[in-house]
Chain A
Amino acid sequence: MPETLTPVPETAASPPAGEAGPARPSLAARVVAHPLLWPVLALVVLLAVNVAASPGFLEVRMQDGHLFGSVVDILRNSAPVMLVATGMTLVIATRGIDLSVGAIAAIAGAIACTQIVGAADQGAAGAAIIACTTALAVCVLLGLWNGFLVAVVGIQPIIATLVLMVAGRGLAMLVTDGQITTVNNDTFSALASGFVLTLPIALVIALGVVGLTALLTRRTALGMLIEAVGINPEASRLAGVRSRTIIWTVYVFAGLCAGIAGLIIAANTSSVNANSLGLWIELDAILAVVIGGTSLAGGRFSLAGTLVGAIFIATLARTIPTIGIPSEANYLFKAVVVILVCLLQSPRARASLRSALTPRSAKGASA
């Protein structure tokens, strides 16, 4: 069935939080209808499973002026996916998709590490800053390239970004000359392991990017314009929206976010392996976006949902070993989550579920 024929899911019609209609619905009704209800519930269930498995799970303690504990760890580990998923959210909102983010992350890590190794003083803070800036500049260029293919040449996003997804790891290998490059720079490794204001730096960066994006898209018209392009690029262009520029911008932004994520991942191990850095992070990011309630059909996005989705994925990765299942089985659970989320989002699955739940006498009307 083509998407155009499917009815819009009910949640789309409900007003966003904090913006009540003329007849203000009851609090309970608003909570039930809130798009974030399901992702947050799922996260709470996951946390409950963890607490049941190891009672001290939620404990957070202060040590040397930093926060420590499983929850802080999970948040820190979710930072790369959070970043990539933020860029992906905007891309998906324009009805696109960016498969190349994992490759871009690998390229960013490769460039940063080789630059630091090649610097005159490997341990200097300046070397790390210059290296990271260069890496991010290249990521912007790669984003420009993706945006060019999608917005100007007009290739389907999934295919346009496939090109860089296939070639990108080769490029990263070219940068590192196929070696696993290890760096020894405290400023660089602080990206992943450092703390600022008692919080991990990686998390602060990720939250900062998400917050800034939310500010830019929700406090200006940018978010609405992005959604307009996602609903119908041609119509929005005719209505005076510079859809080409907007599409181009979101791919550049996605590239930049992926680059920052790549730096954090590389800093985490103080080394870069171009073959495995950020492998499948694009899929995790898409999963986070989908869990957060952003529809892959475009035209609507929720950054808060994406945030919850990214934390959910990191929590899931932590839960599986906690409850005594080998961590490699992670993928199996992700598959189940993808299918469940899709079923919850699918209008047709909702309809059949509803007709199964309604009593037999009422069925004639609903069909």
Chain B
Amino acid sequence: MSTATVARHSADPTGPAPGTTPRGPSAPSTWERVRTWAPSSRYLPVLTTAALFLGMFGVGGLRYEGFTDPQVFLSLLLDNSFLIVLAVGMTFVILTGGIDLSVGSNVALSTVIAAKTLEMGWSPYLSVVAVLLVGTLLGTLMGLLIHYLDIQPFIATLAGMFLARGLCYLISVDSIPITNPTFQEWAYKTVDLPGGYYVGYTSLVALATVAIAALVLARTRFGRTVYAIGGNESSALLMGLRVASTKVGVYAISGFCASFAGLLFALYTLSGYSLNAVGMELDAIAAVVIGGTLLTGGRGYVVGSLFGVLVLGVIQTFISFDGTLSSWWTRISIGLLVLVFVVVQRLMTRRQP
């Protein structure tokens, strides 16, 4: 009886969490259970990142006036909404053990297509559909190359990256402003919260993307297959899972998310430019890594990636609040964070081949 009660707290298929085994024959008291409760080891990386985020926010609040103002957090969401969406797509890909280098170029391509089609007088809805179609198509093509022709994800998406960037330049070398009233309305639309705070529509859209992605990964057959492929692709294949469609699917999702992020980026900057988002794929990968997703695939959560993006955002907020630090410290600190998380991941998975 008592073991069953305790076991519920450590409901972890990979093994019981340490410290939850009852030490005596008598049932542990409530206090004992609370004291020895440890979160399932599966959630540790996500919780670490969340704690890191809260800690950094706290430190910022102690050091700088007005840092803990809720509006700072809401602006964090607004300024990083495109990166959140991008990281969601990247999480799917990395969970299968792949990588997608094309997303930054895909974002740039999306902003250019949106701006160009609007300039040509398309309806904004048609323009959105066109952008999403192109992005998803690009992702699907890369997925087909990767799965059916056995081309390494790194190389196939490198080709995709060059392709998208080249298409950008073919469409327009110069920056195109977006003057469409519907787009401008979307860009500036906010929801008022009590207390005089407000949150942008794009942040809500980004959060909704995270929620949908989390549901898909946790509750659908597709999501479970994603984890299975990341765990061991051959096993997944032998188990009769739909490896082909899932693998192509994750790249399609990544392409879709990238073009969607591109739309959000176009709303953020209200322009389309071929040199947008250079190196943004690195930010997305960094966010996913910091969010606790294993780069070898099979383990991780979309929510972690959300926190990863927020951590990156807090670093930037720190630097802008400080005023004495230069912006290149952002890159250095992101690199250091990635290093720390990768080394920790390595230590965690040392026993695995």
Interfacial residues, chain A to chain B (CB-CB below 8 A)? 1-3, 5-6, 97, 149, 153-156, 158-160, 162-171, 173-174, 178, 274, 279, 283, 286-287, 290, 296, 326, 328-336, 338-339, 342-343, 346-349
Known contacts A2-B233, A166-B331, A283-B161; 7 further A-B pairs (Cβ under 8 A): A153-B343, A156-B296, A167-B335, A168-B335, A346-B150, A348-B148, A348-B150
Shortest Cβ gap from A315 to chain B (Å) = 17
Q: Is the CB of B335 within 8 A of A170?
A: yes
Q: Is the CB of A338 within 8 A of B169?
A: no
In the assembled complex, the Cα of A155 lies from the Cα of B289 at a distance in Å of: 13
B148: A residues at CB distance < 8 A:
348
The 6 closest A-B pairs by CB, nearest first: A167-B335, A332-B166, A170-B331, A328-B169, A331-B166, A173-B328
Indicate which residue in B145, B166, B234 contacts A334 across the interface (CB closer than 8 Å). Answer: B166
Q: Is the CB of A174 within 8 A of B163?
A: no
Closest to A340 in B: B159
A332: B residues at CB distance < 8 A:
162-163, 166-167, 169-170
A342: B residues at CB distance < 8 A:
145, 149, 151, 155-156, 159
A6: B residues at CB distance < 8 A:
150
Contacts A159-B342, A162-B282, A167-B336; is A326 near B328 (CB within 8 Å)? no
In the assembled complex, the Cα of A3 lies from the Cα of B150 at a distance in Å of: 8
Closest to A297 in B: B152
Q: Is the CB of A347 within 8 A of B150?
A: yes
Contacts A156-B296, A166-B282, A170-B328; is A335 near B155 (CB within 8 Å)? no
Q: Is the CB of A162 within 8 A of B285?
A: yes
Interfacial residues, chain B to chain A (CB-CB below 8 A)? 99, 145, 148-152, 154-156, 158-163, 165-167, 169-170, 173, 233-234, 237, 274, 278, 282, 285-286, 289, 295-296, 326, 328-332, 334-336, 338-339, 342-343, 346, 350
The count of A-to-B residue pairs whose CB atoms sit within 8 angstroms is: 137
Closest to B166 in A: A332
Indicate which residue in A156, A165, A328 contacts B295 across the interface (CB closer than 8 Å). Answer: A156
Interface of B is mostly: helix
Closest to B289 in A: A159
Indicate which residue in B169, B329, B334, B342 contacts A329 across the interface (CB closer than 8 Å). Answer: B169
Q: Is the CB of B158 within 8 A of A338?
A: yes
Interface of A is mostly: helix
Contacts A329-B169, A346-B149; is A286 near B158 (CB within 8 Å)? yes
Contacts A178-B328, A331-B166, A342-B149; is A167 near B334 (CB within 8 Å)? yes
Q: Is the CB of A169 within 8 A of B295?
A: no
In the assembled complex, the Cα of A346 lies from the Cα of B150 at a distance in Å of: 7
In the assembled complex, the Cα of A153 lies from the Cα of B259 at a distance in Å of: 36
A97: B residues at CB distance < 8 A:
154
Q: Is the CB of A290 within 8 A of B155?
A: yes
B346: A residues at CB distance < 8 A:
153-155
B278: A residues at CB distance < 8 A:
279
Q: List 10 A-B contacts (CB under 8 A).
A: A1-B237, A3-B150, A163-B338, A166-B282, A166-B331, A167-B332, A178-B326, A283-B162, A332-B167, A335-B161
Q: Is the CB of B159 within 8 A of A338?
A: yes
A173: B residues at CB distance < 8 A:
326, 328, 331
Q: Is the CB of A163 within 8 A of B339?
A: yes
In the assembled complex, the Cα of A334 lies from the Cα of B105 at a distance in Å of: 14
Q: Is the CB of B282 within 8 A of A335?
A: no
Contacts A159-B342, A296-B155; is A348 near B149 (CB within 8 Å)? yes
A349: B residues at CB distance < 8 A:
149-150
A286: B residues at CB distance < 8 A:
155, 158
Q: Is the CB of B343 within 8 A of A155?
A: yes
Q: Is the CB of A169 within 8 A of B328?
A: yes
A333: B residues at CB distance < 8 A:
166
Shortest Cβ gap from A300 to chain B (Å) = 15
Q: Is the CB of B159 within 8 A of A339?
A: yes
Closest to B165 in A: A331
Indicate which residue in B152, B286, B342 contacts A296 across the interface (CB closer than 8 Å). Answer: B152
Shortest Cβ gap from B86 to chain A (Å) = 15
Shortest Cβ gap from B137 to chain A (Å) = 14
Indicate which residue in A5, A165, A170, A331 contacts B169 across the interface (CB closer than 8 Å). Answer: A331
Highest count of chain A CB atoms <10 Å: which of B167, B169, B336 = B169
In the assembled complex, the Cα of A169 lies from the Cα of B326 at a distance in Å of: 13
Shortest Cβ gap from B339 to chain A (Å) = 5
A283: B residues at CB distance < 8 A:
158, 161-162
Closest to B285 in A: A162
In the assembled complex, the Cα of A124 lies from the Cα of B318 at a distance in Å of: 43
Closest to B243 in A: A1
In the assembled complex, the Cα of A169 lies from the Cα of B279 at a distance in Å of: 11
